[in-house]
Amino acid sequence: MHGPASPGWLLVALCAATGAYCLLRMRSSVEAQRRAAGGEALMGFGMAAMAVPPTVFTPPGWAWPLYAAVFGAAAVRALWSARGGPHHLHHLVGAAAMVYMAVVMAASPGGHHHGGSGVPLLTGVLLLYFTGYVLLAGARLVPGAVAAAGAGAAGWGDRPELARACRLSMGIGMVAMLLTL
């Protein structure tokens, strides 16, 4: 998660903006959308916090276990919610990836990231999953934008093409974070 400063700041900005939009989506009138947006906002802000370049801020040693606990709880919640639909399985994989990255960061000397400190097989599987997710989400986004052009005025929290773009952005962010692991 900690590479050169410029890409790190771009990743922070992308994830924070995505988290902020997900907070806006929580104003939707559809309860399922509000719950999904809440989990995605947590993921966006968590990714933004993990991506801050270490030259600016190095989290204390207790921060990584805290990240792991928060995203572990999010994974349990996603597992519980997966009974109602497969979309929550993606949240489960995302939360588990965040737990994995937090554990790797906690195990790194001094809490700093050094390339190759993760489990290569697990990192590869997560990279493969999120790369596939990004490609699929990108392909789904194009038809969604065309279909939305004829739709009536919807609130910011109820725009499916923006929700897809939000998920695509977080998927891209996850791939970037896993590549530095």
Q: What is the pLDDT of residues 28-86, one digit of tens each?
A: 888 878 888 888 999 999 999 998 888 888 888 899 999 999 999 999 999 998 888 77
Q: What is the pLDDT of residues 137-147, one digit of tens each?
A: 999 887 644 55
CA-to-CA distance for 22 and 35, rounded, in angstroms?
10
95 near 78, Cβ under 8 Å? yes
Read off the tokens for 80.
Answer: 């519980």
Over residues 126-138, the mean pLDDT reads 95
Q: Please state at what angle helix 31-51 crosses helix 63-81, rounded to 10 degrees.
A: 160
Look at residues 105, 47, 106, 104 and name the one whose alpha carbon lies nearest to residue 74: 47
End-to-end CA distance of the chain: 6
Look at the alpha carbons of 46, 47, 50, 51 in this order and tell me if their dihedral is positive or negative.
negative
CA-to-CA distance for 67 and 48, rounded, in angstroms?
12
